[in-house]
Structure 1
């Protein structure tokens, strides 16, 4: 029936350094959802990887820890039923769509999206390939390079290379990038494990730190310019938000504390950009979204370089945060799409993408 409520399973927590951010995001999204339109089912992934399903949410949550569900056999049976591939034909307990509010590895990197594909359940956001490449900064930048999308210079190295060829790697950074530079885990988010380096000594310490969070790192040139972000929403026909600028107060860059501690940074929305720069930003953001085969949503982070005002893509975030301090929903709010309507649009885009995939034939004789 057209007016029947859609069941949305909200997935949060997870095995990631961004576990706490996921909880904050889920708390915000669930409280913003229209319970007259949706049946909302919380699904909590503990830090040890265990999945726990909760009962339907009937009203506003009053505090974040309500999301820390306890083990309950009846709820677990519901989750296990629709999470099992053998239950793929069941319609009684399966959600219509999953909203994976997971950040970082084991949630934003294509792993959980692969599970949804196997279960043939609709979900919000990019698919396996887009999520995976969007999460891996090295692969992402390689794709940008192949598509001639402007970006800062970069090099990468694996833990094996660092442990066996550290002097050569340091020389490579010096010759290709120089200082200052930024060292990042290839797979990660929320600025966890990122360091700014101005010397070889700092570079060595930074690489060691970044390798705590991944098996390879990326080193990028420092760009003298403004940090600007823009939202993209859509599957095929893409819409872009107004741009926003990040101004950090005390940090050397937009680090974890600046992102999630109130008062540590200022978000200027809309960013004061010349019309020509804004138009270029919108086009580059759409090109980056398309090149990575993304769908649903993404936040495209760029530098507007001083002097020539050139747009350089820093990275794309395929599941940006929805906390009260998050840029993505604020960008759309200033564009004219309120938080609740943004969530509804993303759910509809996920359902549309799933319906489109049902047209694919997997047998040549049928």
Structure 2
């Protein structure tokens, strides 16, 4: 990493976790792990829950930097990042715009497509959508999910056109924007990234094998039935191609600090498709970024240190601004 601050130079660190999103439970698990890891390294780290404490209280803490271990809305979507910019507190992960873009699955896809990157076909859904036309265009099975949620919240695999209205209603409980996406059958991979711009580096790919190919919320966080393979066990040339695609997708969105992209490789022709970018990935005992980092030679605590060292602001020159 470029910025090798000592533990002392990190100053007072806030670990932000909990929050108000549907992923609060997972965020608490992630943040608790990060907090313990940083303390074990001698960092002056303190817990802060934006779901129960106000921005005024955050300002009063006088943190020198913060580790964002929040997932989903109000933590991963650019809103908190904007508040931290106003407060002048450097934070981990992507900036305000990149966080907002990556949280919006439709905008992410539009940017990737404009950049020549492969991602499944999609359509936005509404109450009056022509379900038959959507099924004909995207083909069955297809995936319906909220456009601004993570951890497979509100997601349905639709195998019959008659299931579309109910799938839409479920996703709409989580978000006013709902997306239908072409289903890619094949190998599921994920790729973690650390760094920014041309210095961003991809960790070894992880291949995910979930029960009945159903990598849902329960199988992500609360069971040991899902199998993970890192190294992924694919040809080196294929791994390099997918890693390069992920790095291009990360840069296209303007991401920085760290992130994780999910990828499907179509069984019929081995073509990789980008699914989504996570700008505040999980850091639980089941999480994928620590798993890949370990294979790359970075243990959990060292990974947390590298991430907090990368904390920064978008508006580097804000203190020099004059009306």
Q: Does the aligned pair in 2 maintain the 1:298–1:318 contact within 8 Å?
A: yes
What's the CA shift for 1:363?
4.2
Per the alignment, residue 239 of structure 1 pairs with 201
Given that 1:6 and 1:37 are in contact with CA atoms closer than 8 Å, whether structure 2 keeps it comes out as no
CA contact (8 A) 2:85 2:315 kept: no
Q: How far has the Cα of 1:361 moved from its partner?
A: 7.9
Matched with 1:94 is 62
- Paired with 1:32 and 1:153, the residues of 2 have a C-alpha distance of 40
Cα distance, 1:29–1:329 mapped onto 2, change above 3 Å: same
Q: Distance in 1 between matches of 2:59 and 2:38?
A: 23
Flag the structure with more relative contact order, 1 or 2, with Cα contacts below 8 A and sequence separation at least 6.
2
Matching residue within 13, 20, 24 for 1:8: 13
Unaligned runs of 5+ in 1: 53-78, 85-92
- Residue 17 of structure 2 aligns to a residue whose secondary structure is strand
Residue 249, structure 1, aligned to residue 217, structure 2: no
Partner of 1:83: 59
Bigger drift between 183-192 and 301-310 goes to 301-310
Please report how far the alpha carbon of residue 307 of structure 1 lies from its aligned counterpart in structure 2 after TM superposition.
Answer: 3.0
Q: State the SS of the aligned residue for 1:9.
A: strand
**What is the CA distance between 1:213 and its match in structure 2?**
0.2
Who is 1:30 aligned against?
35
Structure 2 unaligned blocks of 5 or more: none
Q: Name 1:282's counterpart in structure 2.
A: 243
2:183 — aligned with what? 222
Alignment of structure 1 residues 125-140 onto 2, 5 Å: 125-140=93-108
Hey, which bits of structure 1, 4+ residues long, moved more than 6 A? none
TM-score (norm 2): 0.92
Residue 42 of structure 1: CA displacement? 1.0
Higher-Rg member (1/2): 1
State how many pairs are aligned. Answer: 317
Question: Structure 1 residue 81: deviation in Å?
Answer: 5.8
* CA displacement 1:311-330 (0-9 Å, x = unmatched): 11011111110000011110
SS of alignment partner, residue 214 of structure 1? coil
1:34/1:340 contact within 8 Å kept: no
Structure 1 residue 34: deviation in Å?
4.0
CA contact (8 A) 1:249 1:265 kept: yes
Please name the residue that 1:107 is paired with.
75
Q: Compared with structure 1, are the counterparts of its residues 5 and 302 closer, same or farther at alpha carbon in structure 2 (3 Å cutoff)?
A: closer
Range moving further from structure 2, 237-246 or 252-261: 252-261
Q: Tell me which of 99, 102, 119 is aligned to 2:87.
A: 119
